[in-house]
């Protein structure tokens, strides 16, 4: 009997101890959860009972050099529905369908979808959003939002760029400076019960968004507008395919204007321009009626087999491209400035060296013609530049040789991208040194058989005329705080020692005579010393007889403060750069040089007139030219 009692007592103690251990474990676990993990489970509980909606931050503005707003924001609304809170679904469906101009079936699909929150439509006009809010229907949320707005419409569209539906940059400065402009979104927090119904007494908690910083750029609206008008005028007169104009400060790389006409409307960037829309319509082929069961997006195909949707996207990408930096072209005779600089810097040519042009130059087994087939005869190097004589520059290139030419090509920065602050810059397309013979060297010397971007040409010539500093072409000047106080000045790389000061001075002087006495005389402006170079290049295939007319000019020649490059693609009729493109730069310079504070030299005007009007003095043209140059 005693043994049974002892056994039972032991069992009771075992059970008791086990219970104590279990209770201790449960108490310990409870203490751990309540004391040490309370914050974690508090957040979990909040997540279960809170509905979160984002508030978009106002995107920072883009301002021109004078403070004019180029990109701003308009208040719009985002309309959403919360399924668990809707009490009158039919009223909600009817209201949203009417006010938002959306098919009723589409609205019903969103209203009946079981989700924490469902967006019905974004970028709704504020007035429409206010009307929906005033109806006070349960489960319908109207949140104020921002939509990008561009006050200047199509002005500098391929530079500024635009944003998508999520307010993120897609092209241009909008995407390049996304981190600066975008800001930090806020939140709207509402508390709900276990069924997901909002608890009215607790209301909403808001975390305010932080507005994005603004970007000040070097582009000047007044210069851009005038240059764009000039581009449109010459495009219409010459029935050209397109026109690009780049205006920049060669001393620091700031870009004052970048025109690529035709431009597009920044406030409606997904609508094709008239010309591109015509291309889309012309390329479409309607599928026979028996195939109408195919998806609607396949209902129309282009001749290449692509759907209209795919073809339209291709044309949109083409419309958004910035040819000044996204596309390359054969620069033609404007590139002779680079050959000139390399030759002078290497000492293989001097301004007084004499050349003979019979109208062609034989290189290996090739006869390469000059633009003047009858030849320029005997001339010095400066006269060869004035005449834009191909044989002269071929000879300079051959004197340099392939090894040395490549050395200067690399030294001038032509094998690297400029580093401009716009996305999608293309690189130079050049012969590999191992594949380059004397014929290729000869054609490169006068700007053919390779391709560069307009911004690369402008940046390189800037370094050759500003004393030898390779500047980075750019738009960004400063990042501003929302109150427009300066937050950060933007700095871009500068590389010294591209050419010597002496070589740079010689280049400026030679290019000034090209305008005052040579092929660039149509860019001459009384009272200003203008330097420049004309070009007329032929696109591939050569048999198509399509030309690119261009002119690169700068002023004042002795201390360049502005450089302009005009490129006209496929002008009809007369297509020579000196006849077509040089007057465009002259017209722009005549108007913007005084605007930039660069005044005419009145004494120079008086002496120029006096010398030209005294034939009785017996001065021959060369003597007149020397006197004018000294003045």
CB 50 within 8 A of CB 192: yes
Question: Cα–Cα distances in Å, from 239 out to 48, 282, 550, 573, 580?
Answer: 65, 20, 15, 9, 12
Looking at the DSSP bridge assignments, the partners of residue 300 are 286
Closest CA to 507 of 345, 265, 315, 323: 345
The residue with tokens 């050099």 is 65
C-alpha to C-alpha distance for 287 and 33, rounded to whole angstroms:
67
Whether residue 556 has a cis bond before it, omega within 30° of 0: yes
Question: Cα–Cα distances in Å, from 300 out to 274, 288, 290, 629?
Answer: 19, 10, 13, 65
- The per-residue DSSP string of 231-297 comes to HHHHHHHHT-SEEEEEEE-TTT-BEEEEEEES---TTSTTSPPHHHHHHHHHHEEEPPGGGTTS-GG
CA 236 to chain centroid, in Å, comes to: 24
Phi, psi of 520 (to 5 degrees): -100, 20
Phi, psi of 100 (to 5 degrees): -95, -5
HEC string of 463-522 equals HHHCCCCEECCECEEEEECCCCCEEEECCCCEECCCCCHHHHHHHHHHHHHHHHCCCCHH
* Cα angle, residue 322 at apex, residues 321 and 327 outer, rounded to 5°: 90
333: annotated active-site residue: yes
Torsion of CA 424, 428, 434, 440, to 10 degrees: 150
Whether residue 336 has a cis bond before it, omega within 30° of 0: no
Q: Which of 157, 214, 283, 333 is catalytic?
A: 333
Its sign, for the CA torsion 43, 45, 46, 48, is: positive
Other C-beta atoms lying within 10 Å of the C-beta of residue 202? 13
C-alpha to C-alpha distance for 527 and 538, rounded to whole angstroms:
34
- The per-residue DSSP string of 133-144 comes to HHT--TTEEEEE
Q: What does the chain come to in residues?
A: 631
| Residues assigned a catalytic role | 333
């Amino acid at each position: 009997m005693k043994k049974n009692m002892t056994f039972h007592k032991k069992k009771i103690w075992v059970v008791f101890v086990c219970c104590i251990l279990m209770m201790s474990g449960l108490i310990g676990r409870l203490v751990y959860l309540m004391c040490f993990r309370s914050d974690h489970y508090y957040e979990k509980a909040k997540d279960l009972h809170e509905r979160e909606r984002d508030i978009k931050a106002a995107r920072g503005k883009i301002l021109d050099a004078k403070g004019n707003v180029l990109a701003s924001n308009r208040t719009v609304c985002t309309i959403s529905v919360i399924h668990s809170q809707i009490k009158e679904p039919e009223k909600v469906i009817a209201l949203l369908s009417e006010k938002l101009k959306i098919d009723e079936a589409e609205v019903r699909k969103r209203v009946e979808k079981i989700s924490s929150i469902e967006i019905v439509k974004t970028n709704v006009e504020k007035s429409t959003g206010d009307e929906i809010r005033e109806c006070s229907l349960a489960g319908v949320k109207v949140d104020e939002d921002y939509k990008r707005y561009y006050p200047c419409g199509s002005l500098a569209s391929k530079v500024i760029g635009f944003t998508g539906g999520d307010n993120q940059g897609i092209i241009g400065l909008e995407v390049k400076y996304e981190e600066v402009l975008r800001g930090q979104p806020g939140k709207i927090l509402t508390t709900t019960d276990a069924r997901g119904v909002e608890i009215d007494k607790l209301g909403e908690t808001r975390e305010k968004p932080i507005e994005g910083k603004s970007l000040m750029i070097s582009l000047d609206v007044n210069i851009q507008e005038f240059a764009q008008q000039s581009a449109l005028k010459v495009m219409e007169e010459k029935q050209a395919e397109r026109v690009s104009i780049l205006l920049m400060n060669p001393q620091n790389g700031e870009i004052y204007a970048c025109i690529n006409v035709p431009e597009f409307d920044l406030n409606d960037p997904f609508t094709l321009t008239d010309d591109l829309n015509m291309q889309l319509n012309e390329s479409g082929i309607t599928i026979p009626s028996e195939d109408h069961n195919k998806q609607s997006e396949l209902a129309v195909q282009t001749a290449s087999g692509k759907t209209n949707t795919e073809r339209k996207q291709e044309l949109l990408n083409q419309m958004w491209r910035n040819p000044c930096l996204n596309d390359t072209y054969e620069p033609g005779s404007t590139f002779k400035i680079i050959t000139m600089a390399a030759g002078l810097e290497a000492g293989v040519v001097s301004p007084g060296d004499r050349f003979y042009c019979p109208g062609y130059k034989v290189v290996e087994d090739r006869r390469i013609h000059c633009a003047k087939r009858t030849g320029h005869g005997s001339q010095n190097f400066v006269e060869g530049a004035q005449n834009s004589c191909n044989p002269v520059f071929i000879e300079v290139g051959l004197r340099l040789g392939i090894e040395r030419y490549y050395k200067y090509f690399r030294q001038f920065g032509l094998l690297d991208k400029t580093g401009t602050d716009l996305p999608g810059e293309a690189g130079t397309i050049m012969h590999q040194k191992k594949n380059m013979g004397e014929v290729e060297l000869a054609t490169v010397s006068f700007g053919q058989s390779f391709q560069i971007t307009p911004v690369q040409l402008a940046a390189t010539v800037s370094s050759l005329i500003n004393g030898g500093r390779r500047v980075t072409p750019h738009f960004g000047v400063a990042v501003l705080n929302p109150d427009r106080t300066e937050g950060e000045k933007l700095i871009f790389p500068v590389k010294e020692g591209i050419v010597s000061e002496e070589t740079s001075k010689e280049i400026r002087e030679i290019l000034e005579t090209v305008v005052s006495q040579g092929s660039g005389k149509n860019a001459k402006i009384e009272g200003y010393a203008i330097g420049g170079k004309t070009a007329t290049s032929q696109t591939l295939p050569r048999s198509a007889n399509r030309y690119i007319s261009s002119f690169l000019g700068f002023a004042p020649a002795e201390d360049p403060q502005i450089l302009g490059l005009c490129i006209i693609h496929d002008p009809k009729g007369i297509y020579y750069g000196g006849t077509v493109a040089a007057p465009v730069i002259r017209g722009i310079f005549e108007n913007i040089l005084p605007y930039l504070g660069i005044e005419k030299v009145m004494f120079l005007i008086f002496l120029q007139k006096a010398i030209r009007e005294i034939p009785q003095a017996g001065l021959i043209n060369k003597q007149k030219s020397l006197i004018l140059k000294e003045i």
